Amino acid sequence: MGLFDRLIGWLGLKKEVNILCLGLDNSGKTTIINKLKPNNAQTQDIVPTIGFSIEKFKTSSLSFTVFDMSGQGRYRNLWEHYYKEGQAIIFVIDSADKLRMVVAKEELDTLLNHPDIKHRRIPILFFANKMDVRDALSSVKVSQLLCLDNIKDKPWHICATDALRGDGLQEGVDWLQDQIKSLRT
Amino acid sequence: MELNLNRVDYIQVGVTSQKTMRLLPAQGRKTTQKVAIADHDGILTCFGIKKGEAVPVFKTLPGQKIIRMDLGGAVGSPQEKIFVCSGSQVRGFTKKGKQFLTFEANLTENINAMHVSGADLFVCASYIYNHYCDCKDQNYYLSGDKINDITCVSSENLTRLSPVLACQDRVLRVLQGSELAYDIEVPGPPSVLELYNKTRGDELLYGTTDGKIGLVQIGEHSASSKWEIDNDKKKGGILCIDTYDIIGDGVNDVLVGRDDGTLEVYGFDSSNEPTLRFDHVLSESVTSIQGGCVGKESYDEVLAATYTGWVTGLTTEPQKAEAGPGDEVRMSKETQSKVEALRAELEQLQVKVLQGREQYQQTSQSSTAVSAVPTFSINDKFTLCQDDASYCLTLEVQTAIDNLLLQSDVPIDLLDVDKNSAVVSFSECDSEPNGNFLLATYRCQANTTRLELKVRSIEGQYGTLQAYVTPRLQPKTCQVRQYQIKPLSLHQRTHSIDQDRPMNRLSLVGQFSFAEIHSWVVFCLPEVPEKTPAGESITFYFHNTFLGTQLEANYCKGEGHFRSDNISTISILSDVLSKEATKRKINLNISYDINDDSVSHTLRMIHPKLEFQLVLARKVQLIDALKELQIHEGNSDFLIPEYRNILDESASLLEEYKKQPAHLERLYGMITDLFIDKFKFKGQNVKTKVSSLLEILDNYDLNSLLDFFCEA
């Protein structure tokens, strides 16, 4: 860490990181981000996002700014406008939706092949969400279906989560935090 | 919907009996439940799971072995008082582990089944049923056969609690007070009873030792059967049943645990028929099963306890939560810490054991010291399988078995069991000097705690089968178990027989008591209760599992009548009974009434089996030749349909043929016995004609065989 970083640490200011939260509609992006916020700031009702919204939350050492993108088909072309700003990506998958797993894979492939993303080594965190649903696929199975093993030039990690209860989210964010820190130094 | 359950092992306690684990009701909404389990050391353990670790709530001191556990409490309050029975004593504990009840049931025998409902306590010893209310004696009943389980049904239709006994003679007995209200016939010896719906409480699930499950609705004066699940795949006997909505469709599912380690979940489809939704096989018998939420809140699971005391959960919670790039499987932190803890423990234990062993070696040199033998428990079962007329011997030990020696003083066949991984070696034995007809050793693969063997006996040859079991324990010791092979070993109890068949009769008259003749019948036939039945006379019905012939035994003091449509059965009975009577120096007056039609009747019953075997042999002969033709021509279209059929079924035919020689031999033997017996009753010795009988059998034709039986 440089002197400047340490100074920030002493002052109690946290470094800001921009994160893109992507995924198909109804995969649970807004719910996950809502759950990551402190208890008193959480909203009760979650409705489908229109366009995108910007949310902020803090962890022990970083301050995250999340672009919560809408996952609906007609808004998906909006994603690429924010690729440049993103320093990390959270990709949310509905593990119980086996039918649209191929759509998620397609979107992931176009994301990875986008010129703004392709040559940057940015960490990608996958959330295999809706683990509480009885016939949900396991995280290993999801990673196979999305062919995550083919991602060679970026650090990635997949976590099984239940966003309604918040299970598994912390582990994922901890990993992301470690990755961002190690990238900076 | 397909059901996916992941296995998690929680803790291990001592050896457990059937139905000794229960889940305590949850405290609040959606929190995890505590588990109470009792073992043969007499320890009642209650624990909860926190972050995958078992956190004990309380643990009692060791005592007599605990046979059953039930939960109870005042009516209307959560049922969280734990009742356990050991010996003839019932003890009650609160959920905190405080003992509030010790009740001596004053039975001469040990309690083997118990049910608690409010202030009512129902206990059963082998044949006795007793009902206590607030520890005061209320009702008493003596059952005709061994009681395996008890539960109580109650509903608006029934005026009060009516206890139901599951008895060994394939009957559920519904009691009213101290009287038998009525009984329900079930297709096998029932081993466990459970209410289908705790609140409605008049539908009763039963499981049998031969692996069948059924649901009956109990009414005031009669019961109706709702459904029944047959045991086609020859899975083990049922040891425990529970109902819980694990699938999550709003209908209670049936959870079943079997003695071969199979765990099953039956769901109900739209037409209310039970269908198998999930099964999992553990390596040892499942003694208790419960549905609930233990490991992590809001994830339902099936909790099972096994014979050696493992508490295992099958949870809906996904196991592997995280993954990253790279081929190597990364262990989660929990697994890693578990491995480390085990390694450390193992090292410590190794050092301790080494020291202990050295000390033992030294003290064993002493001339006055006696080496004590470590005791271990064997859970064994020796039952007749209805569909292949062979005995199934299962042995289960709490630790891994090293080897098993089988010795028999009667000629028996040991059949292959696919599940067994043990290596068999047959030692040559000469039956003349030492009476050994079979000496076989099973050497088990590592970690086999359960062994299943199939034994095929011949009717008329009786004696004992001994099993010497040596587990992997230090010092190595061995326990012997003895099993009786009865003279009429292939007979099975039934509820009724067909009276229209041509019957042969054997009557005995002499100076013997009811108890004496009963003991002779117990000696001759399987599945008869050892206790002399109440009343003046008794009738038992049997049927032969191999041939389908039947036997009726009716006897009282000084008189006995046996009727069968098979002459061989009558002949075996008269031989054995007269031998037994001579042993006790009782003069027997034996009279026969032989029906000549019965011989041809029996031959006609054998006919389809024999014909099937012969046709099979002929087909198998052709298979190789046909296969060669098929290879040459590339296809089998030119063959006549009959041969094409043989080719299509060749695999199953060959498999069937492998078992065939034994079957043919058995059938030939039975026909020869029948032939000799028929003429024995006429006072002729026809042993010399056996060779010509065998000739006829080799070119089998039913009519010529019937003629030969008539002429000779």
What is the secondary structure of B160-206 as a DSSP string?
Answer: S-EEEEEETTTEEEEEETTEEEEEEE-SS-EEEEEES-TTT--EEEE
Instruction: Pull the structure tokens for residue B255.
Output: 């959870």
Give A71→chain B minimum CA distance, Å.
24
Q: How many CB atoms lie within 10 A of CB B531?
A: 16
Q: Assess if residue A4 is contained within a domain.
A: no
Asked if pLDDT for residue A7 goes beyond 80, the answer is no
Q: Assess if residue A77 is contained within a domain.
A: yes
Instruction: Pull the structure tokens for residue B376.
Output: 């271990």
Which of B431, B435, B601 has the alpha carbon at shortest distance from B503?
Answer: B601
Query: Chain-wide mean pLDDT for chain B?
Result: 87
pLDDT tens-digit series, residues B641-684: 888 888 888 888 888 887 776 788 888 888 898 888 888 888 88
Mutant choice from B265, B322, B328, B332 vs A, greatest count of A C-beta within 10 A: B322
Looking at this protein, which amino acid is placed at residue A173? V
Q: Assess if residue A120 is contained within a domain.
A: yes
pLDDT tens-digit series, residues B50-102: 877 889 999 999 999 999 999 988 877 888 899 999 988 999 999 888 999 99
Lowest mean pLDDT among A117-131, B206-220, B483-497, B675-689: B675-689
> Span A168-179, mean pLDDT?
88
Q: Is residue B328 less than 8 Å (CB to CB) from chain A?
A: no
Asked if pLDDT for residue A102 goes beyond 50, the answer is yes
The vertex-B574 CA angle with B568 and B576, nearest 5°, equals 100
For residue A143, the chain B residue with the least C-alpha distance is B323
Which of B293, B157, B302, B311 has the alpha carbon at shortest distance from B243?
Answer: B302
Residue B1: its pLDDT value, please? 59
User: Which entry of A72, A87, A177, A179 is annotated as an active-site residue?
Assistant: A72
Instruction: Pull the structure tokens for residue B548.
Output: 């389908």
User: Cβ–Cβ of A157/B323 closer than 8 Å?
Assistant: yes
- The CATH number assigned to the domain holding A146 equals 3.40.50.300
Please list, in sequence order, all residues whose beta carbon lies within 8 angstroms of the beta carbon of residue A56, skipping any fewer than 6 positions away: A63, A64, A65, A66
Residue A10: its pLDDT value, please? 59
DSSP B227: E
Lowest mean pLDDT among A124-128, B55-59, B128-132, B175-179: B175-179
Asked if pLDDT for residue B322 goes beyond 80, the answer is no
pLDDT tens-digit series, residues B592-631: 888 888 888 888 888 988 888 888 888 888 888 888 888 8
Residue range(s) defining the domain that contains residue A93 = 16-183
Confidence bin at B404 (pLDDT 50/70/90):
very high
Taking CB atoms and an 8 Å cutoff, what residues of chain B touch A171? 321-322
Which of B495, B583, B513 has the alpha carbon at shortest distance from B555?
Answer: B513
Taking CB atoms and an 8 Å cutoff, what residues of chain A touch B246? none
Residue B85: its pLDDT value, please? 92
User: Cβ–Cβ of B4/A135 closer than 8 Å?
Assistant: yes
Q: Which residue has the higher pLDDT, B36 or B663?
A: B36
For residue B4, the chain A residue with the least C-alpha distance is A135
User: Cβ–Cβ of A149/B325 closer than 8 Å?
Assistant: yes
pLDDT tens-digit series, residues B1-18: 577 888 888 999 999 999
pLDDT tens-digit series, residues B346-395: 999 999 999 999 998 888 888 888 888 888 889 999 988 887 788 999 99
pLDDT tens-digit series, residues B492-526: 988 888 888 888 999 989 888 899 899 999 999 98
> Span B450-458, mean pLDDT?
89
Q: Assess if residue A5 is contained within a domain.
A: no
Whole-prediction pTM value?
0.84
Q: Assess if residue A80 is contained within a domain.
A: yes
Asked if pLDDT for residue B299 goes beyond 50, the answer is yes
Q: Assess if residue A93 is contained within a domain.
A: yes
Q: Assess if residue A6 is contained within a domain.
A: no
Confidence bin at A183 (pLDDT 50/70/90):
confident
Q: Assess if residue A68 is contained within a domain.
A: yes
Lowest mean pLDDT among B52-56, B283-287, B325-329: B325-329
Looking at this protein, which amino acid is placed at residue B653? L
> Span A35-48, mean pLDDT?
86
Asked if pLDDT for residue B150 goes beyond 90, the answer is yes
Taking CB atoms and an 8 Å cutoff, what residues of chain B touch A164? none
Give B322→chain A minimum CA distance, Å.
4
For residue A72, indicate whether it is catalytic. yes
Give A68→chain B minimum CA distance, Å.
23
Q: Is residue B637 less than 8 Å (CB to CB) from chain A?
A: no
Residue B613: its pLDDT value, please? 87
Would you mind telling me the total number of residues written for chain A in this entry?
Answer: 185
Residue B431, φ and ψ in degrees, nearest 5: -70, -15
Asked if pLDDT for residue B129 goes beyond 70, the answer is yes
Which of B410, B415, B402 has the alpha carbon at shortest distance from B468?
Answer: B402
DSSP collapsed to 3 states, chain A: CCHHHHHHHHHCCCEEEEEEEEECCCCCHHHHHHHHCCHHHCCCCCCCCCCEEEEEEECCCEEEEEEEECCCHHHHHHHHHHCCCCCEEEEEEECCCCCCHHHHHHHHHHHHCCHHHHCCCCCEEEEEECCCCCCCCCHHHHHHHCCHHHCCCCCEEEEECECCCCECHHHHHHHHHHHHHHHHC
Question: Is the distance from CB of B646 to CB of B622 less than 8 angstroms?
Answer: yes
Question: Is the distance from CB of B255 to CB of B289 less than 8 angstroms?
Answer: yes
Q: How many CA atoms lie within 13 A of B683 on its CB side?
A: 1
Asked if pLDDT for residue A109 goes beyond 50, the answer is yes
Asked if pLDDT for residue B45 goes beyond 80, the answer is yes
Residue B203: its pLDDT value, please? 86
User: Cβ–Cβ of B1/A135 closer than 8 Å?
Assistant: yes
Instruction: Work out how many domains chain A is built from and give that number.
Output: 1
Which of B88, B97, B98 has the alpha carbon at shortest distance from B65?
Answer: B88
Taking CB atoms and an 8 Å cutoff, what residues of chain A touch B4? 134-135
Q: Is residue B369 less than 8 Å (CB to CB) from chain A?
A: no
Q: Is residue A136 less than 8 Å (CB to CB) from chain B?
A: yes
Q: What is the C-alpha to C-alpha distance for residues B574 and B563, in angstroms, rounded to an integer?
A: 12
> Span A74-85, mean pLDDT?
88
β-strands B559-564, B550-556: how paired? antiparallel
Instruction: Pull the structure tokens for residue A137.
Output: 């696929």
Q: Is residue B248 less than 8 Å (CB to CB) from chain A?
A: yes
Residue A31: its pLDDT value, please? 92
> Span B214-238, mean pLDDT?
86
SS3 state at B302: strand
Taking CB atoms and an 8 Å cutoff, what residues of chain B touch A131? 318, 321
Q: Which residue has the higher pLDDT, A176 or B322?
A: A176
Instruction: Pull the structure tokens for residue B114.
Output: 């118990």
> Span A21-44, mean pLDDT?
89
SS3 state at B39: coil
Residue A1: its pLDDT value, please? 47
Residue B350: its pLDDT value, please? 96
Please list, in sequence order, all residues whose beta carbon lies within 8 angstroms of the beta carbon of residue A64, skipping any fewer than 6 positions away: A16, A17, A19, A36, A56, A57, A58
Q: Is B334 exposed, middle or buried (0-12, 13-18, 19+ CB in 10 A)?
A: exposed
pLDDT tens-digit series, residues B256-278: 999 989 999 999 887 788 889 89
Q: Is residue B446 less than 8 Å (CB to CB) from chain A?
A: no
Percent of chain B predicted with pLDDT > 90: 35
Q: What is the C-alpha to C-alpha distance for residues B84 and B79, in angstroms, rounded to an integer?
A: 14
Asked if pLDDT for residue A159 goes beyond 50, the answer is yes
ipTM of the complex: 0.74
Q: What is the C-alpha to C-alpha distance for residues B240 and B192, in angstroms, rounded to an integer?
A: 6
